[in-house]
Each structure stands twice: as structure tokens, then as C-alpha cells.
């Protein structure tokens, strides 16, 4: 299992965790949605569930549900600022297609 985070994403995740010290970590996963099938989810996790895997990635606890693992294995999470917009950006080798707006993806 491999998930990577860039220095920019690491810094942003640490900021979120510092603001919520009770959080167990950053939850990374997917949900069914969008025109292509799946959308990424990044949020603070209050706890880790029994089906969750916790990975320490460069000092950041990243929590992933076991069902999402095959869909996100190998993903690199980045954080980018463009003008007034800032967001996490995902480079997923499992994605075989994305919708035109880039909000959802398909796996083969």
C-alpha cells in the first residue's frame, strides 16, 4: 500500500491537525458521485474505525477505509494554490479517466 503526500499537502494537513488537536488524523478516501463514478474525500477524522488503515506519512496520520484502499493505492496528494483558489490535487495511477471538471474519476 502506497500513498504519498507532497511537502505542500503535508504542510496543509498539519495546519488542519494543529487547529483540531483531538483529531485522530486526516481521512483520505473516495465516495461514489460525479459524472465519472468516484470523488476524492479529504477530511479530519475524529477516530479510526475497525475497517480503517492508518498510515504515518511524513509525520501525518492518514486514515483510509479498507474498501477505498484499492482505489487510492499509489496516489500522490498535492496541495496547490492558483490565485484565490486552493485545493488538494490527486495524482492517482488507478484512475483511467476523469470528468471534464476534474471532480470525479473512473477506475478500470
Please write the tens of the pLDDT for every residue from 33-91.
766 678 888 999 999 999 999 999 999 999 999 999 988 999 999 999 988 888 898 88
State the CATH number of the domain containing residue 76: 2.60.300.12
Which domain, by its residues, includes 35? 4-107
DSSP states of 16-48? HHHH-TT--EEEEEEEEETTTEEEEEEEEESS-
Chain-centroid distance, C-alpha 5: 9
Which pTM was predicted? 0.84
Q: How many domains does the chain have?
A: 1
Per-residue DSSP letter, 14: H
- Per residue in 84-105, pLDDT (tens digit) is 888 898 888 877 666 655 556 6
The three cell numbers of residue 92 are: 492517482
Amino acid at each position: 500500500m502506497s500513498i504519498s503526500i507532497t511537502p505542500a499537502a503535508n504542510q496543509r494537513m498539519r495546519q488542519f491537525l494543529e487547529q483540531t488537536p483531538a483529531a485522530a488524523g486526516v481521512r483520505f478516501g473516495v465516495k461514489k458521485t460525479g459524472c465519472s463514478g468516484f470523488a476524492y474525500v479529504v477530511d479530519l477524522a475524529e477516530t479510526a474505525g475497525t475497517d480503517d488503515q492508518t498510515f504515518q506519512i511524513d509525520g501525518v496520520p492518514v486514515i483510509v477505509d479498507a474498501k477505498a484502499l484499492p482505489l487510492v493505492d499509489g496516489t500522490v496528494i498535492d496541495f496547490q494554490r492558483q490565485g484565490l483558489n486552493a485545493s488538494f490535487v490527486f495524482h492517482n495511477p488507478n484512475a483511467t479517466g476523469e470528468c471534464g471538471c476534474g471532480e470525479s474519476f473512473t477506475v478500470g
